[in-house]
Chains A and B, each alone.
Chain A
Amino acid sequence: MSLFRTELRRLTKRRFTRYMTLLGLLVLAVVVVGVFFTNQKIGADQLAKAERQAEQDYRQQVVRTDQERASCEQAKKAGTATDGRYPDDCSMITPPPRESFEARWFLPSTFNFRETFDETLIPFAATLALVGFIVGASFVGAEWSTGGMMNLLLWRPKRLTVLLTKLAALLTGILAVTLPAAVLWFAGFWAVASFRGSTEKMTSGAWQSFALTGLRGVALVLVLTTIGFALASLGRHTAMALGGVVAVMVVFQFGLGILLEMANVKFAEAWLLPTYALAWMTKTVTLQNWDSCNATYFGSCEPETMDITWQQSSVLFSIGVVVILGAALWAMRRRDIS
């Protein structure tokens, strides 16, 4: 227990941890504020204004088509060549029907809690997962590269206990930031919805679904933190973990993406990690293959689809964590520390 408390103290004492956390929270705050200012509540005023706007646009369109038709007829009379600019029959130039100018196109954007909140949990989880990854990697990576780990092992020779306690302290710290941040995130967007949108139709089912998405987001943060920690411990360097991830992203993801694209592989996104992170958050991601055509009754083409579910993502992430953390623990047990 003393080791755990000490490691927690070490984690919070580090300026890097503090700055990164602060930065992450700042980004989240900016998102909330940004959404607040780009949305508006829809009242009678806004509706009337949108209606006026639609009417005005319709009128403009009518005027424009009238002009167009007039110049068409003029051209016909003069017999000048029109280079196919006008149809043979000038009366074909008619304005679009009034119905195609719907007032709702002209409404300002508004924040509907029930419809949009779960989407906001994706940037929330992504930001904190990134913070967790970097903080986790630096926490153990700096220990290795500065010799702190060796010093600690002279006091606590049980290596696995030391590494796992460090990880536990790290996850506790990250959780201690993520959970309150999640509560604030809910509260923040509730406020946005109350002042700049609507909080209608929030049934208990909807709440439950949001809470579950939030929990999946927290899990994603913890998984990425663990992976950052394990990679840095394996490489014994913060830079190693960060560089490794950049390498994976660039070479593996972009490179692979381009290769698959060139090879015309069906559902290329199914090979890319972010797809699985997205599926984990949204429960399913449906990939579409536009090259294939499943003819419908109406003669149109429906692309072939493939669903990636959150269960598949959970399997993938579990295997990833087990393999990477396992390797870090194995290396910790075996290797010479000098």
Chain B
Amino acid sequence: MQHIVSILMENESGALSRVAGLFSARGYNIESLTVAPTDDSSMSRMTLVTSGTEDVVEQILKQLNKLVDVVKLVDLTESAHIEREMMLIKIEAIGESRAEVKRLADIFRGNIIDVTDTTYTVELTGPGERLSAFLQALSSISILEVVRSGAMGISRGEKTLGL
């Protein structure tokens, strides 16, 4: 099963490679990973999407916790949470497909953020599944480039991941 792990860690050079190195050294999966400093610039917040059996995921969480740079972490999948991902997608937009792309972008509540005579660039934000559904919907149209941010997540309600 897929798990979204949110990690608060020291904003030190090398912290990211400790996490990445742990995954490759122990043969764990990383499906996506995003990281940036928080409002407190001494800390970074990472969201990591991984998958595995319950035992493997339990080990992943323990091993991550063991990293000296990791301050706190939570497996968001264990309780109610919100997941968001951003996608930038450049699509061929000529002839009939030009109108179709616009229509689909509207349906999926995407924004067209760049236009040329032959292309549209669409920005779409939402749960990963919705981004994938958009790509599916475009299947008959020529996609030129896709950039996905990887998932970010936060718990619902008053729960926070902080010091």
Q: Do A and B come from one complex?
A: no
Chain B residues within CB distance 8 Å of chain A: none
